[in-house]
Every structure is written in structure tokens, then in C-alpha cells.
Structure 1
Amino acid sequence: MKKIIYAILFCFPLQMISQKSTDDLNLADKLLEVNEDNILINADYHNWGSSIVKGEDGKYHLFYAQMSEEIGFSSWLTDGIVSHAVADSLCGPYVHKEVVLEGRGAGFWDAHTAHNPRIKFFDGKYYLYYMSTNTGGRTLTESEWEQARHGGITNEFRALVRMNQRIGVAVSESVNGPWERFNTPLVEPSGPIAQITCNPAVTQRPDGGYIMIIRGDKPDVEYANGKWPSQNELIRSQAIALSDSPMGPWVIQPKLAVGNLNSEDPAIWYDATRERYYGIYHAFGYMGMITSEDGLSWEKAKHYKVLDKAIQKADGTEILAGRLERPFIYMEDGKAKVLTVAVLEKNGNSYSLFIPLD
């Protein structure tokens, strides 16, 4: 028997065995049923991805994306806004308070849209990360701008604003603002991602630094000379960036977090009990979870699949999502307490949903 144990240890170093043994988080088993209090819906807007922070007032503050029903769902890229809602209970009901971010207009890097927010609290300040875009110094006619708003991904003007997507941050000493914005984006595409940087997810490392999962395009997709990929040809990639400060400079690392899998909207957190990072993203049909001990080398978690497009409600019915995106995990006292997601039902309704975790 001892010879067998020694052989196992020789073939599989203790560090590797330890890595696997701590990866026991099963979010799928923690999902609880939802009710109407867990849904934030607005008749005039598509409510989309959200994130939560506990404010200095002891209440829960939600920062979420909205797109005008009048302009349409695709206006996330041109006319999106970031709004603020408040609740006494973590999973709602949330009540809209104010719009906090929108496009600042011509001359700014974030001229058009404010979208996909992630709110974080580090060392006494609130950091509201978001995505925005511009037209690359080109002035569009009214007709061209309407094509950018409503055109498909292969449309020249839609592609123009898509290609100028970047990540920024707004900073405040209070969860209620005012929010200071900056004249340059946080990080440019490089290394294993190209064309764009968007959909940031940030957490603090145990050594005191910061880590970001960041989305870009696969570098070897050809975009030059007006040749734009179709939606089906587009390959989204997730990279890792490191910084000593929430403000950067952020350095994109050479190794992808999520290989060649077409995925997006990652969330990230550090699990101090298990001494490892976890990330959750949507892969166009389900949500999957990855894990890493050092934040640089990632693999599928032991309990990889977290959620598909059918969500149980307390009244016995199901939410059947046409699209289920923008996952976010809220941690409190070292434990995952809620999974927030964005839902677009097949009937066109879209809303932010807060799934309690056991």
C-alpha cells in the first residue's frame, strides 16, 4: 500500500493534489428559487447587467446598464446608460435612484454609451468600471449614426463604434457620488486580445495587487480593409490584466483565461477559504465557472456548469431566457451570497435578476 501511495505522489506532486482538493465550490447546488422581488424591470428601458456593493449607509447599491426601449436593445453600443438603484435587502426589491453615467459627447474617449458596469470598493473609494466608445475622430452624418445605432455587426458605421470600445473607471468617495471620470481609457488591447477592450471584471489579489478579466477579440480574425466578421464568425476571448492599483497601469498577460471558447461577460472573485480565484462567464447557452490558484493559469472548475437558460421561480413557473448574460457574484463575509444575471426573454422583456445563493 505504501508503495502505491509513494507512486501516486511521485506522478502527481502534492501541490497539484492540493489544488484539486480545494476546488469544491458548487454554485449550481447553491441556487435558490426567485420571486418578483428579485426582478428589476422598467417599462421604458431594457435593464441589463448589474453589480452590487454595500454602501456606507448599510444599504445595498446596484449599478446596472439600461438601454432605451424607444431606441432599441442594440443601443447598448451607442446610447447606453449606467443607473443606480438601492435596496434594504441584498436580493431586492431594488428601487431606481438616478442615472450616474452616460456618453460624454464628442471629444471624449467615452463619447457614446456607458455600459456593462462593475462596482467595487477598495481602500475607502468606490470604483465604477464601465465600457464606452467613440467614432475614432470621424464625424458621422445623421444617416450614418442611425446605421451605427441599428445596423448589424458587418455595417461599416456599427463596426466603427464597436472597434473603438474601451474600458474606463469613475471614482467616488461615496457610493452616491459625485463620480470623477478621466480623459483616457484604462487599458488598450494587446497580447492575446485585439481590436477592443470591454466588459471588465476586477478583484483584489491576496498580495494586495489587483486582477482584471477583460474581453477582446481573437487577434487572428481579419478586420482590415472593411472586411468585418459576421456575428457567427466573431471569436471573443478573455484575457488577464494585472495592476498594483485599481487605476492601473494595467498590464495584459500573455496567457488567455478562457482559451478559444467563444465566451464573454466574465465575473471574478478570490475565495480566501479555498485560496483560489473563481470566474464565471456565459458561453452562449449556459454559464460556466473557471478557477485558478495564481490568477494566471486557469482551468474549468470541478463543478463547471452553473446555470442554463431555465430558472426556477418560487411560484412553480420557470423563466425561459432567450439570452442569459452578465453574471456577477456578490461576496459578503467571504461567501457567495447572490448571483446577478441579465435576462432577455423570448417575448422581448429584459431585466436584471438576483438569484439568492444558499
Structure 2
Amino acid sequence: MKYVIKLFAITTLLVVDFGYAQDTSLQMPLSFIAQNLEYKGVAVQDENYTIWGCAPIQDEDGKTHLFVARWREKNVNPAWRKSSEIAHYISDSPEGPFVFSDVAIKGTGKDTWDKYAPHNPEIKKVGKNFVLLYIANTNYHQPPHPGNQRIGMAIAKSPFGPWEKVGKDGMVLNAENPQKWNYKSNMGVANPALLEVNGKYYLYFKTKTTDGILKYGLATATKLKGPYTIQEKPVTSNKGTLEDGTVFAYQDHIYLLTTDNHGQNTGIVGGGTLWKSKDGHTFNWEDATVGYDLLPTYYKDYEPKKAVKIYGAAPKLERPKILMINNKPAYLYGPSGWNIFGGDRTVGHVFKINLKE
């Protein structure tokens, strides 16, 4: 109960500091991640690029690699679906500094499913291979969340590539099966998160039901490259909008960390929701906890007048990703649509997860 009181006070203060309506009716306690999350600094920034997504992985030498969605325009929308590319950065430490290495995936510019804007990077190590998942689209002129979003996969022996798209064109999931609950979703499928579970491959994704409700779904496969079959119902019992999921296994449970942009799940507008499941097929709201709070909660030198809003209603995290070290969640990475240092570009942040075990 003490965590509920503590966070209630924080969210009440945010109403004054940030100047927007904040739901102070906290609906769940702090997670083991949020209880002792420590801000470590900037992971990725570039005066020539907008940063949006930082997916981490470590190699056998202990170096940390980030796969980052970025583009040259200063705007977020529509640039994310028009110009995004997935770039590779590297550091000797999980806390950075990270330096640019190479571009892993670009849009083809041709008449393919991934003509435009590879985005939403997800990186995992499966056996000896590095597996990179991403979304892309065929027409960025569609509405802001186009139904032509699909999920692709590329595999490499090294985080430096070369990356080989699986199958004939790399696509592993879409929303085109008329027998499924998200058939012709006006959001398509997006925000991929991959986990190997008992010899099977679980691919989590954001989509909409045929009734227009935003949910997280699950597609499974017996082989890494697929085919992936969408399960018969959504896996989350969310009360409101959620997206940007990342998945990990810890202490005999599967956890799905998502954003809570409207605060309808946690009571924190722009916070994170940590969903918990025993089998990975059902994530109940009753078992969820607060994944993380807003960025100023952890960045102690935050000055409201200095922060620059580039995109979004609050100085919150986007596209959270977890780095696992020794089978434990060790670091959290995420960009923000607000530059808390006063710059005109977004940056990617890194937080240390101090577990109490």
C-alpha cells in the first residue's frame, strides 16, 4: 500500500508541473522494475536524427548493441512512417555512450510490403543467430496508424550483419486472415516482441479488434522463421490504449511491458504497464503493476520551462525495451517525445533496474 500512496503524490504533483490533466486515481502498485528504477543518462542522441526506439542486445564479448529507429526530419509524424530506418549503435557498457556503427535495415523504395520506413525494432539472440524484427508499410500517406503495417524479420550471424530477410521478402505477420479477430485492422500489426517459450516462438504484436479496440495479440510458430499463427483471442485485458510492448521471462513468469498513453490502466497518463502471465497467453489487468512513471520522476534535474515538446502530451517514455543480463531484467531503454535538456531532437534514455531480491 505504501507504493500506492507514494505514486499518488507524484501524479498529483505532475498536474501542476506539466500543465495537463493527469488521472490521480492510481489503479495498481509499483512493479519490481518501477520501485528502484535509476536514471543513468542519454543512450543515443544525434543532432541530425530524430530517435524513436532503442532495442538492446549483448554479444559474447559483453558489448551492448542498440537497434534504433531514426530519421532526418525533426517532426515525428508523419516522418516515422515515411523516412524511418533502423540503425545500429554500439557501446562497451550498457550505460553507454553508444556510437553509430551502421544502418541495418532501410525501406526498399520499391513495390514491396516494406517500401517505406522500417520501424519498431526488436532484437533477440536465438541460438547463434541475431534476430531483428521490424514493421514497415507500403504507403505512408494513409492515416497516422496505417492498416498496411506488417511485421518483418531478418537474421544475421553478427549484430553487424549482413541481415538476411526470412522467406521470400521478410514478412512474417499481417492482419489479412479473415478468420482472425483482427482481420483488416485499421492498424495492421505493429510493435513486435519476440520470446522463445518451451521450444516455440511467441510473437506479440499490437493490433485492433474488428470492433476497433486496441489490444495485444500473440502469434506462435514451431520454427523461428514461421509460419506464425495468430491465436484465437487477444492476450491483454487492458482497460484503455496500450502499445509499444516488450516481452521477457523472469522467475517462472512471462512479462509484457507496454505504454499506458491515456492512463486508463495504471492511472498514470503516459506511464508504463507491466503485465504478468504464467503461460504467456493471458495477461490479466488484476495481475498488472506500474511498469514505470514519467521521465521527470527519475531525472532529478528536470526543469519544466527548459523541456521542449517535440511530440506527445507528456514527458514520457516511448517504445520501452528491456536488456536482460544473466536472465534478469537489468536495464530499461526508451526515447521520449520531449527533450528534457532543451534540444530540438528526441533522444534515447537508459535506466538501470535495481532489483530487490
Does residue 188 of structure 2 align to residue 203 of structure 1? Answer: no
Does residue 120 of structure 2 align to residue 170 of structure 1? Answer: no
Which structure 2 residue ranges, 5 or more long, are not aligned?
1-28, 262-269, 308-313
Hey, what's the Cα distance between the residues in 2 that align with 1:306 and 1:24? 7
Relative to structure 1, the CA distance from residue 278 to residue 318 in structure 2 (aligned partners, 3 Å threshold; closer, same or farther) is farther
The equivalent of 1:10 in structure 2 is none
Structure 1 SS opposite 2:34: helix
Does residue 172 of structure 2 align to residue 179 of structure 1? Answer: no
Equivalent positions of 1:102-121 (< 5 A) are 102-121=106-125
Relative to structure 1, the CA distance from residue 218 to residue 286 in structure 2 (aligned partners, 3 Å threshold; closer, same or farther) is same
The equivalent of 1:355 in structure 2 is 351
Hey, what's the Cα distance between the residues in 1 that align with 2:152 and 2:231? 19
Hey, what's the Cα distance between the residues in 1 that align with 2:105 and 2:324? 24
CA contact (8 A) 2:30 2:290 kept: no
Identity %: 26
Equivalent positions of 1:125-136 (< 5 A) are 125-135=129-139
The equivalent of 1:328 in structure 2 is 321
Which structure 1 residue ranges, 5 or more long, are not aligned?
1-22, 136-147, 149-156, 222-234
Does residue 206 of structure 2 align to residue 215 of structure 1? Answer: yes
Hey, what's the Cα distance between the residues in 2 that align with 1:252 and 1:45? 35
Bigger Cα displacement from structure 2, 38-47 vs 275-284 = 38-47
Q: Deviation string for 1:124-178 (max 9, x for gaps)?
A: 111100001113xxxxxxxxxxxx4xxxxxxxx3239822110001111111111
Q: Deviation string for 1:30-73 (max 9, x for gaps)?
A: 301333xx331111111111111112443111101002225754
Among 226, 230, 254, the alignment partner of 1:248 is 226
Among 269, 274, 277, the alignment partner of 2:248 is 269
Q: Deviation string for 1:1-43 (max 9, x for gaps)?
A: xxxxxxxxxxxxxxxxxxxxxx9961111301333xx331111
Does residue 203 of structure 2 align to residue 193 of structure 1? Answer: no
Bigger Cα displacement from structure 2, 310-319 vs 327-336 = 310-319
Hey, what's the Cα distance between the residues in 2 that align with 1:353 and 1:161? 25
The equivalent of 1:61 in structure 2 is 65
Hey, what's the Cα distance between the residues in 1 that align with 2:335 and 2:193? 16
Shift of 1:252: 1.1
CA contact (8 A) 1:24 1:303 kept: no
Hey, what's the Cα distance between the residues in 1 that align with 2:289 and 2:145? 34
Q: Work out which of the two has the higher radius of gyration on C-alpha atoms and give 1 or 2.
A: 1
Hey, what's the Cα distance between the residues in 1 that align with 2:163 and 2:157? 8
> TM-score w.r.t. structure 1 length?
0.77
Q: Could you tell me which amino acid in structure 1 is paired with residue 36 of structure 2? A: K
Equivalent positions of 1:219-238 (< 5 A) are 219-221=210-212, 235-238=213-216
Structure 1 SS opposite 2:319: strand
The equivalent of 1:42 in structure 2 is 46
Q: Deviation string for 1:309-337 (max 9, x for gaps)?
A: 23345664368753421011111112110
Query: Which segments of structure 1 move beyond 6 Å, counting only runs of 4 or more?
Result: none
